[in-house]
Structure 1
Amino acid sequence: MTLDAAYSNTGAVPNAASYPEAWEEAAFETRSVEQAFGRARLNIPYGDGARQKFDLFLPAGRAEGIVVFIHGGYWMKFDHSFWSHLAKGAQERGWAVAIPGYTLAPEARISDITGEIGQAISAAAGYVNGPIVLTGHSAGGHLVARMAMADAPLSPDISARLQRIVPISPVSDLRPLMQTAMNDTLKLDAAEAKAESPALHPKSLDVPVSVWVGADELPAFLDQADWLRQAWNAPVTRAAGKHHFNVIDPLADPDSDLIADLLRA
């Protein structure tokens, strides 16, 4: 038995193919505006890899802290340029927002990507003082949850600045993906799947974690959110009327419940 259909969001969301183009257009418009106002720093390198870059969006005044958003795409798709518009919610609330890219599978294993995200968070945090909030979507939700585990690739100084982690539609247990065709690219084995699964390990950092997932998502993603809730005693919000591709839209709205949860001290 394979689990391809269980984890195929493109097969479950109406007009799924239209979303990447819409994200790319909205992100381009946001970058153009923010550059014109002098509030965007683009393609800042955090490593030597071609995809190891992040964009930084600054608020109008002094930053309250920094939010780092990690994108999804099953560790295989997209780059940091698709998501700039999602910075607007936190930015308008006075926070800086960093959006990094990372090396994609199969060039990098998921364990390698975890290390890159640690580098990206550390580099971005060097530009802004104050607390750090982490959020990410789907594979990005996995990656930000991964930062709360005992072997997270963060220094004690960076870990001490973490104020909140909000995984959105995270993949918290990677073992089911070994039964999908994606694993031809991801190349997960049992040891890596277990080691990289937040739901299979205790949360080691004393930092609040809250999980969001669309109420209209595939059962597999509702389960993945619930597994993290059970493992970490983390509250889960099932966002009404949201599926896997639009559950992140409220990040662009400074008055949304998602932004309120994200920036809660």
Structure 2
Amino acid sequence: MDNRAEVREFLMSRRAKVAPEAAGLPQGVSARRVAGLRRSEVAMLAGVSVEYYAKLERGAIAGASASVLDAVAIALRLDDAERAHLLDLARAADGIPSSGRARSRPARPSAPRMSLEWAMTAITDAVAVVRDPRQDLLAFNALGRAFYSPMIGDGGRTPNFARFQFLDPAARDFYPDWDLFADMCVSIMRAEAGRNPHDRGLQDLVGELSTRSEVFRTLWAAHNVRIHGAGTKRFNHPVVGEVVLSYEELAITAEPGNALLVYTAEPGSPSAERLRLLASWSVGTVSTAPVTEGGER
């Protein structure tokens, strides 16, 4: 993941998405040879020289000031996730760890911290799982184990949201809105690659999926980025059928980069009843044990 190439392709892809009229520019009568804005138009809107913006778009973003990057973000009409991604790319070019995260990650623990295990066990009416920046599913509560049983299976390699999404046919049934989930998954991974371009595990995962999935290759090339945060998702669980769940992503500050995902159903809704049914079905299953290579817990 060459940083200069990442910067170049990201800026070019964002420029191509901005229509001149959306940026307050006249379309003119002559045919445009490029989609979206010209480099000269971005430079004018950002208040920098054409030569300087062309330098940025060639990938030479190291040393760019925060004010210039902010002006470029405004000119390209970047949303919050895209703006953060641009800043992360600039930090990486300057050799600065992004988003306050350490450049090198510690080895994965053989078991979740006891306090985290207690906290997840205490969550009984919601799906709770822990994932890392590489989309690996590291731990789960009892309901999380039952909910993600199509992905976790009965052993094998560490469950991974991206591998399940693009390589497992069961994902098409589990995610009724598969196309939406696929785009979301890749956009989250692309943002993470900007934050930590030196993560070898993430590089290997991108290489594997690019080789084995044409859809992944296409989505990865789009350079879209996304912050997970919060929202609503629809699932089709093999045991209880369709459920609509709201999710919150909570950063685990003791394990930088890891996140606790909590899925809940609207009280009194059919989805809440089906989640309770799944909880009853899950009694006796393994709960918060960590998931490691080889399927050991």
TM-score norm. by structure 2 comes to 0.28
Which structure has greater strand proportion? 1
**Highest CA radius of gyration, 1 or 2?**
2
TM-score norm. by structure 1 comes to 0.30
Which structure has greater helix proportion? 2
